[in-house]
Amino acid sequence: MGTRKSRPRLAVWKFASCDGCQLTLLDCEDELLSLAAEVEIAYFLEASSAPGPGPYDLSLVEGSITTPDDAARIRHVREVSKHLVTIGACATAGGVQALRDFADVREFASVVYARPEYIATLATSTPISANVPVDFELRGCPIDRRQLLEVITAFLAGRRPVVPSHSVCVECKLRGNVCVLVAHGTPCLGPVTQAGCGALCPAFNRGCYGCFGPADTTNSRALNAKLRVLGMSDPELVRVYRTFNATEEQFVQASEEAGG
Amino acid sequence: MDIVVIGSLEPLVVALQTAGYTVVGPTVKDVAVRMAEISSAADLPADVGDTQRPGNYRLTERGDGMVFGFAASPDSAKRFTQPPRQTLARMRGRTFEEPREEAPRVALLGLRACDLAAIAVQDRVFLGRHPDPAYRRRREALFLIAVNCAVPGGTCFCVSMGTGPKATTGFDLALTELAAPHRFTVEIGSDRGAQIAAAIPHRPATPDDLAAAEEVSRVAATRMGRRVDTEDIQRWLPAAHDSPRWADVASRCLSCTNCTMVCPTCFCSTVEDGTGLTGDVAERTERWDSCFSLAFTELSGQPPVRSSALARYRQWLTHKFATWYDQFGTSGCVGCGRCITWCPTGIDVTEELAALRGGTEGTSCIR
C-alpha cells in the first residue's frame, strides 16, 4: 500500500486479568512486524514502557472491572478510543475472578489478606460492556491468536470480523477430531461452547472446558443430562460452568439447572 | 462380470501406489476407526470391531484377524469429495483469481455400500443442474474400492433405504472379506478397476468363494440395528409439520451440528470473506456449515429464519427424508446411521420418524 501519512493508532489496556490475552498479541511473531507496519502501537505497557498519548483509533481492552479506580479508568479509555474491542474472558464476561459474584468478596479478603481493610475492591467483577459501550467482544481464555489478527485486520479494512458464534463441535469436525464425548465417554462442553480455539482440547483427546463462553444457541439442560449419564455429579456440573465465563447468562442457567 | 480372488491386500495397495494414488483406508486413531493414508496393508485395523449405539461408539477386539470387521467409521468420503474448507476466489489488488484447487489422486479403500450411495447423492447435488467443476475434478481423481459390509452396526439401516449392505454400483473395485482361509473376492466395476486387478496376483473365484461372499451380504442384511418405514414418506413427513414430537426432539437437540457434519450427504456450506493485514489481498473461502447453526439462516438486518431448535430439527429431518426427493430425485439419507451414533445426546432419526408417523408422543431419554 506504500507509505501512509498516518497509521491507525493502537492501544492495549489491562484491567483485572492475568496478561495472557495481551501476550497473545506478542505471540503473533510472524505477523507482528507487518502489523506494526500497518498500525502505530502507541500504548502497550506489556511491550513498551514508552506510552504514547491518546486519542487512539483502536483500543484492545483486557481484564474485568473489579475496583472503583478501574471503573473510572475504563471510562477514560472509552473517551480516548474511537473503537474499543474487549479481548478475553475477563473483559468479555468478568473472568474467573467473577466467581466472587457467587460469594462474599469481603470474606475472601479476610482470609487472604493480613490487613483486608487496605483492599479497595468491588463486590462483583464485571465485563467491560457492563461499564462502557463496546464495539466488539473477542472471546477466549486466552484469546486465539488467529482470531485476534482477524479482528485487527477487519478493523483496518472496515469490515465485520469473521468470528463465528457456533459451537466448538463445528471446529472439531472441520479439523477432523473424533468426538471425545461419543467415542471415549469424555465429558465435554463443546456442544454449548462458542468456537474460536480451533477445537484445541478435543484434538488432544480432552473435553472442552468452555473457555470461549456459550455458543449462540445452547441447550445445556440436554447436555447436562448426557454429562450425568457419563457420571458427572451435580456439584461437578456446577463447577465446570463456573470457570472463566461463569456469569454468562447461558452458563448461569446451566449451573443453576444442576442445582448451583 | 468376472470375480477374482486375492489372498492379500498388500499387492493391491502397492499397485494403487504405483498407479499414482495415495491410498486412504481405515486405521485406528484416537480409539476410533478413522480414514487415513496407509503405506501398506499392515496399517489396516486387524482384529478391530466396534459397537455403535445412539450417542455411543466403542472399539472392540474381534480376535479373528479380519481387517474390515467394523461398521461405518465417523469418516465418510465427504472429506474427500467436499473438503471442509476451500478457497473460492481471491482479489489481488484489482486482479480477480479463481484458484484451481488441487484434486489429489486418492484411492479410498474400505467404502461401504452406504458410502457409495452417499457419493451418488452428492453427484446429483454437485454435478446436476449446476455442476461444480472443482467437485468434478476431485471426484474424477478418486479411485473407489468398496468392501461389502459384513457386520452392520447397531445404528445401521441401509436395507430400509435400499442402499446396502452389498455394493452393486459406483465402485472401481468391490471386495468381500472371507475367512478360513483369509482372502478377498474382488469384483471389477470399471476399466481402471480392471487394470489394477490385472496388475496383482489373483485366481478365478470358485463357486465356493462366490457362495461365501453372497452369504456375507445375506447375513449382513439380516443384522440391521435399525429400520425406517419409507413408504409414502414424501407425503406424511411434511404433513407432520405440526406434530408435538418436534418440541420433544428439540428438547434433546443440542444444535451442535454433529449429525450434519458426519452425514455423508449433508453438503451445506457458507462463505467467509477475509482480507490480509495489508489490505491488498481479499479471499473468499467456502467452509462446511450446517442448517443447525443459528447463523445459517441469518439475513441482513433480520433475525434468523429458523431461530428455534424445533424449526431447525424439523427442517433437517424433513429435508433429508422427504423434500430431498423433490429437489434431487432421491432420498438424502443412505442409512449409514452416523447421525445416530455421533449425536452426543443420542437422538435416533429412526425413532423420531416412527414417532412422527405413528403420532406417538412418548418422550425418550438421553443416552
**Pairing between strand B48-53 and B32-37?**
unpaired
Distance from CA of A170 to the nearest CA of B (A): 7
Residue B221 CA to residue B167 CA, distance in Å, equals 12
At B68, is the secondary structure helix, strand, or coil? coil
Average confidence (pLDDT) over A46-63? 88
Range of lowest pLDDT (A32-36, B52-56, B349-353): A32-36
**Amino acid occupying residue B36:** A
Instruction: Set out the domains of chain A in order of their start, with CATH numbers.
Output: 9-157 (3.40.50.700), 168-257 (no CATH)
- Give the minimum alpha-carbon distance from A154 to chain B in angstroms, rounded to a whole number: 7
Q: Across the strands, what pairs with B282?
A: B91, B275
Q: Is B293 close to A170, i.e. CB distance below 8 A?
A: yes
The 8-class DSSP code of residue B43 comes to G
Nearest to A62 by CA among A113, A97, A105, A32: A97
Per the CB < 8 A criterion, the answer to whether A241 and A251 are in contact is yes
Count chain A–chain B contacts defined by CB atoms under 8 A: 141
Alpha helix ranges (H) inside B57-185:
78-81, 113-126, 133-140, 158-161
B178 CB contacts (<8 Å, ≥6 apart)?
B184, B185, B209, B212, B213, B216
Nearest to B342 among A31, A182, A184 (CB): A182
What residues does B50 pair with on adjacent strands? B59
* Residues of B (135-164) whose Cβ lies below 8 Å from A: none
Select from A163, A90, A167 the least CA-distant residue to A129.
Answer: A90
Q: Cβ of A191 and B79 within 8 Å?
A: no
Query: A66 CA to chain B: closest CA distance, Å?
Result: 34
Residues of chain B numbered 77-116 and touching chain A (CB < 8 Å): 79, 84-85
* B249 at interface of A, judged by CB pairs closer than 8 A: no
Q: How far is CA A186 from the centre of its chain?
A: 24
Query: Residue A217, SS3?
Result: coil
The distance of B269 to chain A (nearest Cα, Å) reads 12
The helix or strand, by DSSP H or E, that contains position A222, with its residue range, turns out to be helix A220-229
Cα separation, B206 vs B189, whole angstroms: 19
Considering only CB atoms, B279 lies closest to which of A1, A188, A218, namely: A1
Verify whether the Cβ–Cβ distance B273 to A159 is below 8 Å: yes
pLDDT at residue B302, as a whole number: 87
A62 pLDDT above the threshold of 80: yes
Are B146 and B112 within 8 A, CB to CB? yes
Question: Length of chain B in residues, anyone?
Answer: 367
State the average pLDDT over residues B128-143. 95
Statement: residue B362 has pLDDT above 90: no
Nearest to B366 among A178, A218, A225 (CB): A225
Of A152, A177, A219, the CB nearest to B254: A219
| Maximum pairwise Cα distance, chain B | 69
CB contact under 8 A, B31 and A167: no
From B56, B277, B289, residue closest to A182, measured CB to CB: B56
User: Which residue reads 481479499 in cell numbers?
Assistant: B282
C-alpha cell recorded at residue B84: 471442509
Cα R_g (chain B), whole angstroms: 22
Which tens digit of pLDDT belongs to each residue from B229-283? 999 999 999 999 999 999 999 999 999 999 999 999 999 999 999 999 988 999 9
User: Using one digit for the tens of pLDDT, what is the confidence trace for A179-196?
Assistant: 999 999 999 999 999 999
Do you know the residue count of chain A?
260
A205/B30 touch (CB, cutoff 8 Å), yes or no: yes
Nearest CA-CA distance, residue A77 and chain B, Å: 25
By C-alpha distance, the chain B residue nearest A181 is: B344
- B147-162, pLDDT tens digit by residue? 999 999 999 999 999 9
Give residue B1's pLDDT. Answer: 53
Please list every residue in chain A whose beta carbon sits closer than 8 Å to the beta carbon of residue B252.
219, 222, 225
B197 vs B23: CA distance, rounded Å? 15
Report the pLDDT value the prediction gives residue B100, as an integer from 0 to 100: 86
Phi and psi, residue A27, nearest 5° = -70, -10
pLDDT of residue A47: 80
Residue A51 pLDDT class (50, 70, 90 cuts): confident
CB A207 within 8 A of CB A190: yes
Listed range (A213-217, B88-92, B101-105) with the worst mean pLDDT: B101-105
B120 to chain A, minimum CA–CA distance in Å? 22
What's chain A's Rg over C-alpha atoms? 20
Q: Does B275 touch chain A (CB under 8 A)?
A: yes
Mean confidence (pLDDT) of chain A: 95
Interface test with B, best of A173, A186, A224 (most B CBs within 10 A): A173
d(CA A166, CA A173): 12
Q: pTM higher than 0.90, yes or no?
A: yes
Cβ contacts of residue A80 below 8 Å, gap of 6+? A11, A54, A55, A56, A59
Q: Determine the pLDDT at residue A69.
A: 97
Answer whether A198's CB lies under 8 Å from A221's CB.
Answer: no
What pLDDT does B279 receive? 85
Instruction: Decide if B278 touches A, using CB distance below 8 A.
Output: yes
CA angle A172, A176, A180 (to 5 degrees): 55
- Angstroms from A33 CA to nearest CA on chain B: 11
Whether residues A217 and B274 touch (CB distance < 8 A) is answered with: no
Query: Hey, are the CB atoms on A176 and B276 less than 8 Å from each other?
Result: no
Question: How far apart are the CA of B285 and the nearest CA of chain A, in angstroms?
Answer: 11
CB contact under 8 A, A183 and B58: yes
pLDDT at B333 over 50: yes
Residue of A nearest to B306 (CA): A217
Higher local confidence (pLDDT), A47 or A143:
A143
Residue B29 contacts A, CB cutoff 8 Å: yes
Report the Cα–Cα distance between both ends of chain A, in Å, rounded.
55
Q: Show the cell assigned to A204.
A: 488432544
Whole-angstrom Cα distance, residue A86 to residue A10?
A: 13
CB B121 within 8 A of CB B81: no
Identify the CA nearest to B175 among candidates B139, B150, B156, B192: B150
